[in-house]
Structure formats: C-alpha cells, structure tokens
Amino acid sequence: MGKFHGFRFCNVCKVACTPGNFLDNEGKRFCTACWLEKENPTHPEIKEIREKNNNAAKDWKCAKWSREEGPLPLGPKSHRN
C-alpha cells in the first residue's frame, strides 16, 4: 500500500507536514519549527516544536485501519445485488 503524502513536505527540513503543523508562504510549505526559526531564530522552544512535529509525522503515517482493528468498509455495492 502506498503512503499518502497529502500534506507534502517542508521545503527546509523535508519532514512530512501533518494537519495543523505547517503553513504556506509564497508557494512554499514550512513546518512550524522551520517558520519560527526563519522569523525568530532566538525562540526558546524551537527544539521542542521540531521534536513534536517529527513525532506527529511518525504517528500520523502509522494511523491506518487494519482487519485486526476493525472491519474495513465493503465499498460500493453492485447494482445487481
């Protein structure tokens, strides 16, 4: 099964962007840590934000349904049934 990269990657650090952890500026995508580092390099919590973004990307990619966790959807029904 292919990975879903719906939110693309940060242009600076190449981390997968997750919902709420990125912003777009002038056609480029930045994760929140890279944006803070660009705009305010002396911010005291950049390392913690970067770790949070990396962990969120790992958790988000692994959040998938499997047959063991619950039934998968059956999909569209045939019109002849």
Q: How far is CA 36 from CA 18, 29, 51, 57, in A?
A: 16, 13, 14, 18
Largest CA distance in the chain: 65
Sign of CA dihedral 46, 28, 13, 52: positive
pLDDT score, position 63? 54
Helix axes 46-62, 32-39, angle to 10 degrees: 160
Question: Could you tell me the pLDDT band of residue 1, with boundaries at 50, 70 and 90?
Answer: very low
**What domains sit in the chain, N to C, each tagged with a CATH number?**
1-59 (2.10.110)
Q: Average pLDDT of 12-32? A: 88
Average pLDDT score, the chain = 78
pLDDT above 90: residue 39: yes
pLDDT above 60: residue 7: yes
User: Among 17-26, 27-36, 69-78, which stretch is predicted with the lowest mean pLDDT?
Assistant: 69-78
